Amino acid sequence: MNIKKQIDKYIEAHMGQIIEDIKSIIAFKSVYGNQDEIQGALDFMLDRARDMGFATKTTLENDLGIIEIGQGAECIGILVHVDVVDIGDPDKWTHPPFECTQEGEQLWGRGTIDDKAPAVMCLYALKALVDLNIPLTKRIQLIVGTCEETEWIDMKHFKDTFPVPDYGFTPDGNFPVFNAEKGYADIKLIFPEPRLEKLEILSSGDSPNSIPSKAVIKLKGEEAQVFNGQSSHSSAPEFGDNAIGKMCKALRHRTDFDFIRFVNDFLADDYFASKLDIDEGVEDSYGSKLNISTAVPTVLMILNGAVLLNINVRQKIGVTRDKIKAAFAKHSREYGYSLFISECLDGIIVDKNLPSLRRMKEAMKLYGIPGEFDFERGSSYAKSIPNFVAWGPYIEGETNTCHTEDEHISIENVILATKVYTYWLARENR
């Protein structure tokens, strides 16, 4: 039996256990701030790996785990994470977000795409290699992070303590191979708002990298107003309907609030924030607006006696932190805000001629997945280590519910991606 047939038969035979482990890890409410739940999800992965006979270790801070098989001087890395974005509007979930529900051929729950289910899929890829006695000439590390949806302090601790792998991927995106990624930045604007006492309630968004689907405002002496939109990943704002923008447009007449004026003037109707002049706003060699910077409001609240507005920027490659800061600072006096950048990561481009990427293409072709290389609007751990790319698990053509309410993935997608990862790892060890 050839290696592909062996892998396919193994993954199909173990799919029941893979699904059960996905259900178990989805149950951890591992959103930012729930440290016990995040730790529980990490411990679950490490415990399962040890049950399989794999070696494990952690950073000194215990915020990242490493699961290792194989031997050799060269090391392949797989970067996953068990933290997730918050759930958005709970009323918009068909199934409980932290009770992984299997309905028909779909698995529903927060983390089924990003990134808990892919983490389990990759763990079973390692198990398949060992159980099938596939010779391993390289070390393979499954690196399990806990801070991907916030500040990547876990990756800093990892790189401070351990040597990094030579190359690898993160299953935190789409197929085909995404060898280029835009940058990422979170800009926080603080509006003192001279009429702040008129605001009794102001709330929208619970994640800096998700389009909010609900916004609530209550002015003193008035009824609360609720604005409903549609959530989406903040790197693809055109697929959502931003509740913050919707609210500010409806309240355009309230020129006594600086944050409303700012959103309407720069963000409400313009994903690319053209008036902010973050970049030159023209297409580049990719021939697509995928590489024009976007800027979208994602969180709005009253905090410490002021209005806080988070703006998530996905900057074009080459746009610097200083350029972003200057773009917002230019308007700070007119709209009365102060600003700080809480996160800023440069974009990346990985050489598509690397042998490992060529073999990724071959693996996809063998399993009928179209495409070669593409440009990722989102941001992944691939930015943290050289020669890493985002690769799967989401298959083009299915509904991508990453960072939305009702996140889900098809079982067919789980099976196919797990097979592809296993086959590629086997090929890398020939």
Rounded distance between C-alpha atoms, residue 389 and residue 376, angstroms = 10
E-state strands within 126-171: 139-145, 167-170
Rounded distance between C-alpha atoms, residue 215 and residue 88, angstroms = 11
- Model confidence over 144-154: pLDDT tens digits? 999 999 999 99
- Model confidence over 330-376: pLDDT tens digits? 999 999 999 999 999 999 999 999 999 999 999 999 999 999 898 88
Instruction: Please report the pLDDT score of residue 281 as a whole number.
Output: 58
Statement to judge: residues 320 and 363 lie in one domain:
no
Statement to judge: residues 155 and 192 lie in one domain:
no
Tell me the residue range of the domain where 174 lies: 3-182+348-428
Q: Is the pLDDT of residue 74 over 50?
A: yes
Question: Which of 285, 315, 345 is the C-terminal boundary of a domain?
Answer: 345
Q: Which residue has the tokens 């396919």?
A: 8
Question: Which of 294, 310, 345 is the C-terminal boundary of a domain?
Answer: 345
Q: Is the pLDDT of residue 95 over 90?
A: yes
Q: Identify the band that residue 291 occupies on the pLDDT scale cut at 50, 70 and 90.
A: low
Statement to judge: residues 170 and 210 lie in one domain:
no
Amino acid at residue number 304: N
Q: Is the pLDDT of residue 65 over 70?
A: yes
- Model confidence over 21-32: pLDDT tens digits? 999 999 999 999
CB 415 within 8 A of CB 4: no
Number of domains in the chain: 2
- Model confidence over 310-337: pLDDT tens digits? 999 999 888 999 999 999 999 999 999 9
State the average pLDDT over residues 142-167.
97
pTM: predicted TM-score of the whole model, two decimal places = 0.93
Segments in 31-99 forming alpha helices (H) = 35-51
Question: Which of 323, 345, 367 is the C-terminal boundary of a domain?
Answer: 345
Residues 6 or more apart from 310 whose CB is under 8 A from it? 186, 187, 188, 189, 205, 208, 297, 298, 299, 300
Statement to judge: residues 227 and 336 lie in one domain:
yes
Nearest to 314 by CA among 228, 377, 232: 377
- Model confidence over 408-417: pLDDT tens digits? 999 999 999 9
Statement to judge: residues 359 and 251 lie in one domain:
no
Statement to judge: residues 321 and 331 lie in one domain:
yes
Round the average pLDDT of the chain to a whole number and report it.
94
Statement to judge: residues 115 and 155 lie in one domain:
yes
Q: Identify the band that residue 272 occupies on the pLDDT scale cut at 50, 70 and 90.
A: confident
In the chain, the percentage of residues whose pLDDT exceeds 90 is 89
Statement to judge: residues 148 and 254 lie in one domain:
no
CA angle, 411 as apex, 405 and 412 as ends, to 5°?
120
CATH number for the domain harbouring residue 382? 3.40.630.10
